């Protein structure tokens, strides 16, 4: 055997030993987890990803003080989440309406206001950004003439708003702050649960713990424990362990890319084998950019696979059915120019592309004039996979062959139930989840 092969074999043995030791460490310190451990009332109500009725509503319920613990949660929110000095006699609003004046409009998910300060908070779980959304909220807050203002962008992992949402604002604008459920909200919930226990408000404590479990499920966040400290010590205990850990870390993005490509390839093959469509996978660089970017940056388009539905030669436009990863996996219909260019202003030329009344209604009511997506549906109810942080339960299950096949078959069933109408009329059988 050559020396190169011996070196590779030796390195693989060291990496394997480190992984085995880390797994043993985790297993020895963590109690066995059943599927019911992450089952909450939100699971039962099928509302785990509902931004308005679940996440915004729950946060508002804790912050508004309409409970026995009054403003104690709001005080901790200023400290743990906003990182701002607490404002005396602050009011908290949910779904705060901004009238359409001088181009500023919208409905802010949460809005905290005092005599001296105001803080709009935009909650994003998996919904797409809206045109100039953060810029509009920024202009509104600035126009309130308060001593202090800041716009907070709350997502699962703390990513930045897209260029489309930021509008004319610079990326490093200090009045825009990104916060996350995985860190800021999770740590705040821990403190809130402690306060509730100290005050013997056990009903509130139980509700907080249910919601905290939901955040763990969506983000993969877990309270820092002894096992993670032990793993860090294991890595630092020797040169070989450290180098093995580095090699593992360097391999993770390639592992994630291969898993995503496997999923999209399997879906492409199924559609090509079953329906009269030809798929076109995005270039390798699109996948690599998705996983090598700064964690807090955000691409307008994630990697995916597209299928031509219709070419409009005269209009020089092509309509595509597409799977795309944008946090979770979604599917829908978008259009591009004849050279694959983004040309959102030409959407009106698509009105007669399909004969259905629903298609024509979608074109007539298309609001996002800077987006080439016309409609999209998410598959979060099947996958529950966060392809950005890659550590929540739904994502990890993709590495279990049986669970992967189970999820894949469910996706195929959803697509097969809609694709015939999409090919014929450009729309799914039922109203799309999201219209642009």
pLDDT digits over 404-426, tens only? 999 999 999 999 999 999 999 98
Bridge pairing between strands 328-337 and 317-326: antiparallel
Complete domains list, the chain, with CATH: 41-219 (3.40.1350), 250-435 (no CATH)
pLDDT higher than threshold 90 for residue 113:
yes
What does pTM read for this prediction? 0.67
Which one is predicted more confidently, 61 or 48? 61
Q: Residue 220 has what pLDDT?
A: 66
Bridge pairing between strands 151-155 and 117-123: parallel
Q: What pLDDT digit, counting tens, does each position of 230-248 carry?
A: 778 778 878 887 888 888 8
């Amino acid at each position: 055997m050559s020396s190169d092969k011996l070196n590779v074999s030796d390195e693989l043995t060291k990496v394997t030993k480190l992984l085995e030791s880390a797994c043993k460490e985790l297993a020895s310190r963590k109690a066995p987890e059943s599927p019911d451990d992450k089952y909450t009332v939100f699971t039962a109500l099928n509302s785990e990803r509902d931004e308005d009725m679940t996440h915004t509503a729950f946060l508002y319920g804790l912050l508004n003080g309409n409970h026995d613990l009054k403003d104690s949660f709001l005080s901790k929110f200023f400290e743990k989440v906003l990182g701002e000095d607490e404002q005396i006699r602050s009011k908290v609003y949910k779904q705060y309406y901004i009238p359409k004046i001088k181009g500023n409009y919208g409905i802010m998910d949460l809005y905290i206001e005092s005599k001296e300060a105001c803080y709009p908070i935009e909650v994003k779980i998996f919904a797409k950004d809206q045109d100039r959304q953060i810029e509009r909220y920024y202009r509104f807050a600035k126009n309130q003439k308060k001593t202090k203002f800041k716009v907070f962008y709350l997502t699962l992992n703390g990513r930045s708003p897209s260029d489309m949402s930021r509008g004319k604002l610079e990326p490093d604008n200090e009045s825009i702050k990104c916060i996350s459920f995985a860190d800021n909200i999770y740590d705040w919930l821990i403190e809130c649960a402690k306060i509730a226990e100290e005050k013997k408000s056990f009903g509130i404590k139980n509700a907080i713990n249910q919601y905290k479990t939901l955040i763990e499920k969506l983000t993969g966040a877990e309270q820092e424990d002894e096992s993670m400290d032990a793993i860090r010590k294991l890595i630092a205990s020797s040169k070989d362990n450290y180098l093995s850990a580095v090699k593992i870390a360097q391999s993770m993005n390639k592992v994630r890319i291969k898993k995503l490509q496997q999923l999209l390839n399997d879906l492409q093959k199924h559609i090509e084998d079953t329906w009269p469509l030809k798929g076109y996978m995005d270039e390798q660089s699109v996948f690599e950019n998705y996983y090598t970017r700064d964690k807090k940056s955000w691409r307008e388009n994630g990697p995916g696979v597209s299928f031509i539905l219709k070419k409009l030669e005269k209009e020089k436009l092509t309509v595509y059915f597409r799977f795309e990863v944008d946090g979770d996996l979604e599917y829908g219909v978008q259009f591009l120019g004849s050279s694959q260019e983004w040309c959102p202003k030409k959407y009106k030329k698509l009105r007669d592309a399909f004969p259905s009344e629903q298609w024509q209604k979608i074109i007539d009511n298309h609001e996002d004039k800077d987006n080439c997506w016309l409609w999209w549906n998410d598959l979060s109810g099947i996958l529950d996979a966060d392809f950005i942080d890659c550590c929540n339960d739904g994502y990890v299950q993709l590495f279990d062959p049986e669970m992967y096949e189970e999820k894949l078959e469910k996706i195929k069933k959803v697509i097969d139930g809609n694709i015939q109408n999409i090919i014929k009329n450009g729309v799914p059988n039922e109203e799309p989840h999201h219209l642009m």
